Structure 1
Amino acid sequence: MSLSTDATPAAAPTAAGVAPLAAKAAGLRKVYGRTVAVEGIDLEVPTGSVLGMLGPNGSGKTTLIRMLLGLTRPSAGTAELLGASVPDAVANALPHVGALVEGPGFHPFLSGRENLRRVAAAEPLLTSAQIPGAVGTALERVGLTHAADRRFRGYSLGMKQRLGLAGALLVPRKLVVLDEPTNGLDPAGTRDVRRIIGELHAGGATVIVSSHLLAEVEATCTHVAVLQSGSLVAAGELRSLLDAGTGGLVVVTPDVDLALTTLRDAGATAFRDAGAEPAVVVSDGPAAPEIVALLVRAGVAVHEVRRRRPRLEELFAQLTEGSS
């Protein structure tokens, strides 16, 4: 399943008028013994998009990410990263990719700054003279300057996660891949990750982020890919997927009780909206013009009628409910 490119303004068209891809999977499959971790996934990630990769534990998110990065060889299928074939030519793309996958791994007896300097020394895009400045900037960006000279073994889970994120941001990247980046972070840390993703997107970078925090994905991502039991069940531009959801109608009215009685007597499924304004939600029943006419005839003051767009949490539940 391909991702729509309708809402990716940062993606520049190619000569053929088609937006370039930051990553691509074609028929990717991974089998461990008798366990199928990923089953035949087709996925295209447009350049400049922020893709939220969603799915319950064991859905195949991390395995898919590892195959895209060349860390795990697929049992079948092909992958591309920034136009380079994976894994054969992935070395050409990796200097332009920052990744935090399955938690950071650092030396426990070195400080955060010393650990980051070791990571920076392996960066082909950094000269020796640039390393101190790059390390300092990355530490400041993730909010770790105050703890930079403490030993890593004394870091909390959230601080370790921040240091791993700093390692992914040592140099400007074309693609940043973050596997559960808010794991162990407090609300302030989660806001920092949201800010960093926004900065990367504004700068034209592509971001792939897997997360269990659906509200954060909805707030930061332009596209989503939903995995379940190793299969891709939906993918696309987030706004389009939400607009296509069966959210029903919202009727704004001060006569909520009368509206509910009228609609239910007509066989519609209606309930009081939980929002701040007085309104009812009609999730099933007659067509919108008939609903309005029905309410007006009953003396209900109808101030506004609009389509109700479901939240990502509702869409996710619809897509994964009942899947094996």
Structure 2
Amino acid sequence: MAATSVLVFVAAGVLVAWAGVTLARAGDEIARRAGLSRLLVGVLLVGAATSLPEIATDVSASLAGSPDLAVGDLMGSSMANMAILALIDLMHRHQVWPAVEIGHARVASVAIGLTALATLGVLTPPGVAIGWVGLDTIVIAGAYVAMVAWMRRSPSGRFGSSSLIPVPTGWSKPTRGELRPAVLRFGFAALVILGAAPLLANSAQEIAAAAGIAETFVGATMLALATSAPELVAAVAAVRIGAHDLAVGNLFGSNAFNMAALVVADAAYLPGPMLTVVDPGHAVAGVSAILLMGLALAALVHGTETRLRRLEPDALVLLVAYLGGLFAIWSTGA
């Protein structure tokens, strides 16, 4: 059974990786043909689509009575996304962060705030619930919707183009050609991710049970890395075609979307509000994700506004902090 679970886990991961590359290419084509901001497409379209594994996986885990696996996956995925951001910057010789617009700082700030709310939900006593769904996850989802509305009302719609210094805006000039083929490819890739994701959840749960590893740690590590595969391949593919804003917007947007997805997982957990029954060790993952996003935000702002490399937190620091966060989660024994 354990060997079969590993094979299923790997096969599902390969499908998810292929779909992530397709999402990045189709998303960039949609931005070019429609004349949209790559930041906007990365945050809303690609970020949400690459988070489909988390949604499908965590709904499956909640329905199976494993809320720790669901919450651990979402928190751990937010950590993994920041490690991916550091990796793509290292792969391209520290040229990613200076090449993106300052508007990503807004998305990063919102993702940090939503993660903080989720962490508080884990640590605080049970509060108000609407039916069996906790008010905390509903508030987080509402805050995400407010973020989307806020971004749409940003000055000139360009997410901070009023910066004091010139920065790349990431906006694409409309090109001739039909938009429909790109949208269809994007939708098909999203469906592939949606179909493969439950296999990741079930196989990870079986592997955890066979190995005797706590679900909190499995969710924050192995499952989070697997469900973050679309973000990784989409980010790498986007950077390779020069769509830096699409790559970074995908990662920060996915972190914000992950927290909004808590309400879906919560609704699938019928015994009651999910955040009130999970292990408090998830707060360690939440704080680690906040730390990593804070470091990434500082690097992004310094790389975009000041261009002073000596003041920019290195991508290696981000990776070391990620490993430190994983060790802290392991140390809790959750």
TM-score bucket (shorter structure): under 0.3
> Whose radius of gyration is greater, 1 or 2?
1
Tell me which of the two structures has the higher relative contact order, counting C-alpha pairs closer than 8 angstroms and 6 or more residues apart.
2
State TM-score, norm by structure 2: 0.22
Q: Which has the higher strand share?
A: 1
State TM-score, norm by structure 1: 0.22
Q: Which has the higher helix share?
A: 2
